[in-house]
Amino acid sequence: MAVERILAPLKTIPNHIQTIHDYEQQTSKHVTEKTWHYLQGGAMHELSVQENQFQFQNIQLIPRHLNDFTQAHTQLNLLGIDYPHPIFLAPIGHQALFHPQAEHATALAAELMQSNFVLSNFTNTDLRHLNKENPYKWFQLYWQSRETSLSLVKLAEQNLYKAIVITIDAPHSGIRDRERKVFFELPTQMQHPHTSSYFKKSQIQEGEHPIFHGLMKIAPKWEDIEWLVRHSSLPIILKGVLHSADAKKALECGVAGLIISNHGGRILDTTIPPLIALQNIRAIVPAGFPLLLDGGIRRGSDIFKAIALGANAVLIGRPYIYGLTTAGALGVAHVIRILKEEFEITMALMGTTNLNSINSDYIFQKTIVYR
């Protein structure tokens, strides 16, 4: 499938690209204006997009010194699996928009960097075509009726994915002004092997409400989550939880973990910042219950702050897409390496020798002053 691009992906990484911000700037040269707005945009005023990054600047570090680092590491065990570091790749749909090798390139880089990759339900690449032996892969599901959802979960089980992530914060698409203004649309010939035409089935009948009887009618309910937990041998993780009462409900349904996220600010504007929701939810779940965080992570010190406030691991979204667009698998691997190295150096400078030793004693939260 040919997707219009401006500048071809790079084969080597020039020296001026050293940070996620450099990758972001480079990306604008490789994509069309429409794709750029699709990637960067958020809901309405995009206050949550901005706040996601601002939330980290609001937290200051209190380093400690003179610790022995000879045994230091960044490993974690999550849901019975050992991961060498806590930087995971969030589900991002339609990656053929960004690079001809799409999810193949991302998966290759993720495997090389031992980064856990969450493959989106809106993938352009069949989930069966990623390396079956790679242990660092989860599958993200957008609910599509019990029968279709379960068949996808079974396919993921057979192909050795290690967990299912159900995204629950987007039962309806967000109001993304930027996309509307540039008439963004997915190419008609784009392949989506795991969504078929299900979402088109939500077409409303005469007299029905376009929203409440449209996509909302086919969105999952708590009973569906509970049902899927019972029918899957894989751990089920809910993505997009921000309210403590929903976290409690998820636990009652037997969910194995939560991703605290506002979908990168793309669905509902002015949500509570994920870092604040993380603290609220950490306070009410049992000790050790897996909580992951995404939204706005652009530096290794952001990862440190998320872990200090209760995250077991973090996911990055747009940053690795900047890498993919700029230089395919090489770019994704480089983005992960940049963040991993920044995180390791932050740990060394903070005096924390492993993830368990990172806690809220090491941070100071400034009072927010809104301008």
Ligand X SMILES: Cc1cc2nc3c(=O)[nH]c(=O)nc-3n(C[C@H](O)[C@H](O)[C@H](O)COP(=O)(O)O)c2cc1C
What is the Cα–Cα distance from 190 to 371, expressed in whole angstroms?
43
Q: Does 257 bind ligand X (CB under 6 A)?
A: no
Q: Which of 140, 271, 301, 325 binds ligand X (CB under 6 A)?
A: 140
Nearest CA to 62 among 282, 304, 278?
304
Minimum CB–partner distance for residue 367 and ligand X (Å): 24
Q: How many CB atoms lie within 10 A of CB 68?
A: 7
Minimum CB–partner distance for residue 166 and ligand X (Å): 9
The residue range among 2-10, 55-63, 100-108, 288-296 that interacts with ligand X, by the rule CB under 6 A, is 288-296
Nearest CA to 306 among 277, 330, 329, 285?
277
Residues within window 93-112 making contact with ligand X, judged by CB under 6 A: 93
Question: Considering beta carbons, is residue 43 or 327 the nearer one to ligand X?
Answer: 43
Taking a C-beta distance cutoff of 8 angstroms, is the pair 241, 247 a contact?
A: yes
Q: Does 302 bind ligand X (CB under 6 A)?
A: no
Taking a C-beta distance cutoff of 8 angstroms, is the pair 279, 308 a contact?
A: no
Q: Does 263 bind ligand X (CB under 6 A)?
A: yes
Question: Considering beta carbons, is residue 95 or 352 the nearer one to ligand X?
Answer: 95
Question: Considering beta carbons, is residue 9 or 296 the nearer one to ligand X?
Answer: 296
The residue range among 58-66, 91-99, 333-341, 342-350 that interacts with ligand X, by the rule CB under 6 A, is 91-99
x-or-dash pattern for ligand X, window 109-128, by CB under 6 A? -----------x-x------
Nearest CA to 123 among 183, 191, 63, 40?
191
Buried b (16+ CB within 10 A) or exposed e, 74-112: bebebeeeebebbbbbbbbbbbbbbbebbbbbbbbbbbe
Q: Does 171 bind ligand X (CB under 6 A)?
A: no
Structure letter (DSSP) for residue 178: H
Chain center to CA of 217: 25
209 catalytic per annotation: no
Site size with ligand X, rule: CB under 6 A:
23
Q: Catalytic residue among 99, 104, 194, 263, which?
A: 263
The residues assigned a catalytic role are 263
Q: Which residues bind ligand X (CB under 6 A)?
A: 39, 52, 90-93, 120, 122, 140, 167, 239, 261, 263-264, 266, 294-297, 316-319
